[in-house]
């Protein structure tokens, strides 16, 4: 925490981009409604898993640690309403959200996938050792759960039922860094890519020593991020089939309209598109 903000309070939470205040103001990343109750569950990067009732108001804490280890970077969630459980990710146990570049470049593999039982209030770690655990989405039949492993540009599949229950495999390898995953009504999955994986990023991620050296360079976060994404602020969304096959790719290669996509939600034949780094909501008509 910067010494300048040691005495900061939530009254300072009025600036549009203030990473140094995130631990005070909170940083919601994943949002899901429980359709049975109307409750909105929130994965906040700093405060943990939270919930606010259908009438709104102040969110209350559901969980901020698992098996005695605090959450450092709560990221995304999905709800299995038939089982009354919530699946969610903690991207790292070493780095906070405002340090996400450190997590990627240092070779950190402390991300976790967790399960919270709403009835028993039991919280269980399902998977550890993930390189930047990110977006989460249940399959339509509830057989498996998808999770973005951002630093490796992969989507992992964790089996919830059947002969492979409790095991995971690689569902898809992507050309860039996946953020959130959202299932459409047909059971397909939209994945927002933060950026494509270019030659510079491949070099920086090829060895943790190289990545850590880059983190020590006397450059700003913006300069480091620009280096990581190859100086490009483009936008890419990928639609995956039920077996991980790429069905469609949408791109704004020059970043003229959209940049750094974090989530793609399909509703009523439209795509609602958001960014974790840009203050916009994009709408793409599929007709």
- Would you state the pLDDT for residue 279? 85
* Domains and their CATH numbers in the chain: 3-285 (2.120.10.30)
Residue 51: which of 73, 28, 69, 70 has the closest Cα?
Answer: 28
Helix, strand or coil, per DSSP, at residue 193: strand
Task: Report whether 42 contacts 61 (CB < 8 A).
Answer: no
Neighbours of 202 (CB within 10 A): 11
Residues of the chain with pLDDT under 70: 1-8
Report residue 144: phi and psi, to 5°.
Answer: -145, 170
* Sign of CA pseudo-dihedral 178, 181, 184, 188: positive
Separation CA 201–CA 83 (nearest Å): 40
Alpha helices in 97-243 (DSSP H): 100-105, 199-205, 208-215, 221-228
Torsion of the alpha carbons at 227, 228, 231 and 236, rounded to the nearest 10? 180
* Sign of CA pseudo-dihedral 97, 149, 228, 207: positive
Q: Tokens for 256?
A: 């003229």
- Would you state the pLDDT for residue 8? 59
* pLDDT tens profile 13-68: 877 778 888 999 999 999 999 999 999 999 999 999 999 999 999 999 999 999 99
- Would you state the pLDDT for residue 4? 40
Task: Report whether 118 contacts 85 (CB < 8 A).
Answer: yes
Whole-angstrom CA distances from 139 to 110, 117, 149, 154, 185 are 25, 18, 17, 17, 11
CB contact set of 120 (below 8 Å; sequence gap of 6+): none
């Amino acid at each position: 925490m910067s010494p300048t903000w040691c005495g900061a309070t939530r009254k300072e939470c009025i600036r549009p981009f203030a990473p140094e205040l995130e631990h005070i103001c909170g940083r919601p990343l994943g949002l899901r409604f429980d359709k049975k109750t109307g409750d909105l569950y929130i994965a906040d990067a700093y405060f943990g898993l939270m919930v606010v009732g259908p009438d709104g108001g102040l969110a209350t804490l559901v969980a901020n640690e698992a098996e005695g280890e605090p959450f450092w970077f709560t990221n995304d969630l999905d709800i299995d309403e038939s089982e009354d459980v919530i699946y969610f990710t903690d991207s790292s146990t070493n780095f906070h959200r405002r340090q996400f570049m450190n997590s990627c470049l240092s070779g950190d593999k402390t991300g976790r996938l967790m399960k919270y039982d709403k009835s028993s209030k039991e919280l269980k770690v399902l998977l550890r050792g993930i390189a930047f655990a990110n977006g989460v989405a249940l399959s339509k039949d509830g057989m498996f759960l998808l999770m973005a492993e951002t630093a490796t540009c992969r989507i992992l599949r964790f089996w919830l039922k059947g002969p492979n229950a409790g095991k995971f495999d690689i569902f898809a390898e992507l050309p860039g860094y996946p953020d959130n995953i959202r299932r459409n009504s047909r059971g397909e999955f939209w994945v927002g890519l933060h950026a494509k994986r270019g030659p510079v990023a491949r070099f920086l991620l090829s060895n943790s020593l190289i990545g850590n050296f880059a983190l020590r360079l006397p450059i700003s976060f913006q300069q480091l991020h620009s280096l990581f994404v190859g100086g490009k602020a483009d936008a890419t969304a990928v639609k995956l089939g039920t077996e991980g096959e790429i069905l469609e790719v949408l791109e704004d290669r020059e970043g003229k309209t959209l940049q750094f996509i974090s989530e793609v939600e399909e509703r009523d034949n439209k795509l609602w598109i958001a960014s974790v780094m840009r203050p916009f909501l994009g709408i793409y008509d599929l007709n």
